Amino acid sequence: VIQRDQALQTYGLKHPAIVGLEARIQRWQAYLETGMIGSSGLSNMRLPPEELADVPKTPGTLAEALDALEADHQFLLRGDVFTQDVIDTWLWYKRTNEVDALRLRPHPYEFCLYYDI
């Protein structure tokens, strides 16, 4: 994990004057580090192809991610962090306002495919 000073120096900032800059950098740093761990984790493993086929894959769409969360969310209930009602409401909201909203409208690429001259 990169230390705070190193993260700031990476962006050419040795003395940040803006409050919250460090938090923004740490958030992006965590996002990038998570992606690097995910991408390098499997490539650095030397698993035989039959074992590699059993490694779970990340969801490809928001709908698949919500289905996976609905199937396995017990870790969120531990320690009374979230209640079942909060998780159900959040899943309903995301499906109604994001997944269904996109599914009901044509994608811009469809316009390009069918209506472009």
User: What confidence category does residue 45 fall into, taking pLDDT thresholds of 50, 70 and 90?
Assistant: low
pLDDT value, residue 19: 43
Q: List pLDDT tens digits, range 47-99.
A: 777 877 887 788 888 999 999 999 999 988 988 888 999 999 999 999 999 99
81/75 Cα distance (integer angstroms): 9
- The token pair at 79 is 């320690």
pLDDT value, residue 51: 79
Contacts 24+ apart (CB under 8 A), 57-62: 62/94, 62/98, 62/99
42/52 Cα distance (integer angstroms): 9
The answer on pLDDT for 11 being more than 50 is no
Sign of the Cα pseudo-torsion (53, 55, 60, 64, in order):
positive
Give the residue, 87 or 111, on which the prediction is more confident. 87
- The token pair at 64 is 């698949």
